[in-house]
Amino acid sequence: MNIKINMVEYMNRLLALVKSDPKYLFSSRQEMVDYARAVRPHGAVRYAQGDMTRVEGGPWDLVLCLGNSLSLLLTRNDVGRALCAVRTALVPGGLYLVQVLNYDAEC
């Protein structure tokens, strides 16, 4: 099955689910922050550079880790620190959505 996802529509729907304002989108790379801000401006979103092993701010209703970003961490220890940081930053009952892509899988 081939499913095409419109990421802009998907993100807008997810952002609508989050009750808190403003919403924050983080990337570890400043050039990606600048690109997102320029290409996908959104009035309710603040773009910032951040480190997923040290989640700052919150408490958050929803934390998204998209684009296979978790796999960019170099060690299992880094992954553990990232998961603990997110858990600490979530409100009770908050959601953590991680996208993991398997490029080896046959469709």
Statement: residue 2 has pLDDT above 50 = no
Give 60's contacts (C-beta < 8 A, 6+ positions apart). 20, 89, 90, 91, 94
Is pTM beyond 0.85 here? no
Statement: residue 6 has pLDDT above 60 = no
Count of CB atoms situated within 10 Å of the CB of 82: 20
| 40: helix, strand or coil | coil
2: DSSP letter? -
pLDDT tens string 56-70: 777 888 787 877 788
User: What per-residue string of b and e applies to 2-29 under the rule 16 or more CB within 10 Å gives b?
Assistant: eeeeeeeeebeeebeebeeeebebbbee
pLDDT tens string 10-40: 666 666 666 566 667 777 788 888 888 888 7
